[in-house]
Every structure is written in structure tokens, then in C-alpha cells.
Amino acid sequence: MALVNTTKGEMDEALLEKKEGFVDNDDEYTTWVEYWLDGELVHRSVHVQLKKSVVLSGSTASFE
Amino acid sequence: MANTQAMCSSFLGELMTATHNFTTSTGNSFKAALYLASATVNASTTAYSSSNEVTGTNYVAGGVTVTNGTSPLSSNTSTTAGVGYWTPSASITYTNVTLTTAFDAVLIYNSSASNKAVSVHTFGSQTVTAGTFTLTMPSNTTSTALLRLATT
């Protein structure tokens, strides 16, 4: 029996409706999982994989 | 209003005053705070603020500590150019939180130096319900590290 942390405490996963999804683009790969009980969202977790750096482009002045 | 991914401009100047030390163990402590999609954090952000930060069950204002197990690295790409880079050594995780108002940005800031801002990273708008929000970092390489200082 797998237990899921929910707004109503830990519940047996088998009693819940599970929904999953993902977003994949240039910026991120994100997955999410939701558990619903009688039409009520009782759990939602999100995992974001960041893909992009922030970059400082430096330069030096020339005396030439 | 919107959040925009950026290296904070104030951070760029502070690099030249040795304000930030990313050395593992002996360096500064860095934290990661989440911001609402309605916030405006971007290159102009100079320090952590609780204004428009997410609030919710088990989320502590100021966010969580960033794991820094690898000091900054550098590499020459030519005789005149190179790159310095750094990435947190573990995912940033907010455990068993409920964040019902949409958020889409994380601010990395230096909690050892008056909470001065380092960088803003954005992602698709999210909510979390009695769950975990995890930000996994890109690979710590010259081309993909979270923070890169490059010359060409």
C-alpha cells in the first residue's frame, strides 16, 4: 500500500485519482503529479529541471 | 508585472568588491526564495525581499538554503577568453508545502551578505498542494552551469 501525503493526511494511493503531466521547452523540463479525491485536489507536487544558465558576458578595454 | 530571468546587475558590481564568496564550506551561505507570478523580480533586484514572496503551509519566509558542495570553476576557451561557472550541488527542495497562489521564479541570494541578490530564474507558473516543489539544477559545465561569467 503506497501512502500519499494529502491535505487530509496520509492516504492510500489506491483511493485517489492520479493525474500526471509535463512541460518540455527550451527553458525547463517540468513534471507534475496530482491526486484527487471526489473532485477535490488533495496533493500536487512539481519537479522543475532548469535548462538555462544566466550568463555575464565580460570584456576588457584595449589601449590600442 | 512579470518576473524575468537574469543575473542581478548589483551582483555584477559586487563581484568586483569581493562581496560574494561561493567557496564551498568556508564561503558565504546562499538561499533560494520563491516569488509569485505577480511579482517583479529581475536584473534590477538588489536584495531579497518578502514582498510578493510566496506564502503557505510549511514555507518559511526567505526560502531554503542552497547546497554548495562545489566551489566555482573556471576554464580558458582561448588565449583571450574563458568562463567561470558555478551551480548548486543539489536540487533546491521545498518539502510538504502548500502554495496555492501561482509562482514562477526563484531568487538566489547571499544570506551572509545582507541578503544581496545574485540571480533570478524563471519557470512555468506553478502551485503546490500538500506536496514537494523541486528545482533540479543544470549540469555544472562551462556551457550549462546555473551561473556563468564568460569572456569571448
| Cβ-based contacts of B131 with chain A (< 8 Å) | 5, 33, 43-46
Distance in angstroms (rounded) separating the CA atoms of residues A61 and B138: 32
Name the average pLDDT for chain A. 93
- Every domain of chain B and the residues it spans: 6-145
For residue A56, name the pLDDT band (cuts at 50, 70, 90): confident
In-domain check, residue A26: yes
Task: Compute the average pLDDT of residues A29-39.
Answer: 97
Total structural domains within chain A: 1
Range of the domain at A40: 16-50
CB contact under 8 A, B129 and A7: yes
Contact B144, B136 (CB under 8 A): no
DSSP string, B16-43: TTT-----TTTS--EEEEEEETTS--ST
Q: What's the pLDDT at B80?
A: 85
pLDDT tens-digit series, residues B26-63? 999 999 999 999 999 999 999 999 999 999 999 999 99
The percent of residues in chain B predicted with pLDDT above 70, rounded, is 99
Count of CB atoms situated within 10 Å of the CB of B21: 14
CB contact under 8 A, B124 and A30: yes
In-domain check, residue A3: no
Q: From the CA of B26, how many Å to the nearest CA of chain A? A: 24
CB contact under 8 A, A50 and B146: yes
| Cβ-based contacts of A23 with chain B (< 8 Å) | 124
Side-chain-side CA neighbours of residue B40 (13 Å): 2
Closest CA to B134 of A25, A12, A58, A50: A50
In-domain check, residue A55: no
